[in-house]
Amino acid sequence: MEIHAGNGYLPDQFLQDNSNHRTDEYGGSVENRARFLLEVTQAAIDVWGKERVGVRLSPSSTFNDMHDSNPTATFNYVAQELDRLGIGYLHVVEPRIKGNVTVEDDGKGLGAKFFRPLFGGAIITAGGYTRDTGEEALQNNTADFVAYGRLFVANPDLPKRFALNAELNKYNRNTFYTSGEEGYIDYPSLGDA
């Protein structure tokens, strides 16, 4: 069970100080702003067990106008507390992804590499990876798993294509977040053409 605490979703709104202007026990300090996410995570653990719970963070994303005045301190604390809870994994969106757009990574953002020394469990990294850059992230021990979103949407047989180093279908960003089958189930598999 993954708790989405990134991209401006409710847990992210509590975490980051640009959106959290509360003056009660859920606002102000990093500890207070993290309280909501940690309580939600503990509630999920109580139902499904810690090994079946993961949390997704996008600490460098400005999607939905999100940002924090000190993301290093905020997400350092969050990662250590999630580690203390012993959750199954931490899923991190890399700095080069801002919502639905890939941007140039200036090296200042917080990605999986930042979280590796803070979180002892499995780390999943996501965000614009190719076959080669994903393999590099695994080889360098940046993460334990690499998540592919857009490439998987456009290539329903992505693992087979990676194994064969086959050409990939190009995804159509204009069909993202729309209704109907176009852009979701109409991409061809290898050999369908």
The CATH homologous superfamily for domain 2-147 is Aldolase class I (3.20.20.70)
Which pLDDT value is given to residue 104? 63
Which pLDDT value is given to residue 64? 79
| DSSP states of the chain | -EEE--TT-HHHHHHSTTT----STTSSSHHHHHHHHHHHHHHHHHHH-GGG-EEEE-TT--GGG---S-HHHHHHHHHHHHHHHT-SEEEEE-TTEETTEE----S-S--HHHHTTT--SEEEEESS--HHHHHHHHHTTS-SEEE-SHHHHH-TTHHHHHHHTPPPPPP-GGGTT-SSSTTTT-SPPTT--
Which pLDDT value is given to residue 103? 58
Which pLDDT value is given to residue 109? 78
Q: What's the pTM?
A: 0.90
Per-residue pLDDT of the chain (193 residues; tens, 9 = 90+): 999 999 999 999 999 999 999 999 999 999 999 999 999 999 999 999 999 999 999 998 887 788 999 999 999 999 999 999 999 999 999 987 655 556 566 566 799 999 999 999 999 999 989 999 999 999 999 999 999 999 999 999 999 999 999 999 999 988 887 888 888 888 999 987 5
- Catalytic amino acids? 9
Which pLDDT value is given to residue 52? 98
Q: Where in the chain is the domain with CATH 3.20.20.70?
A: 2-147
Which pLDDT value is given to residue 178? 81
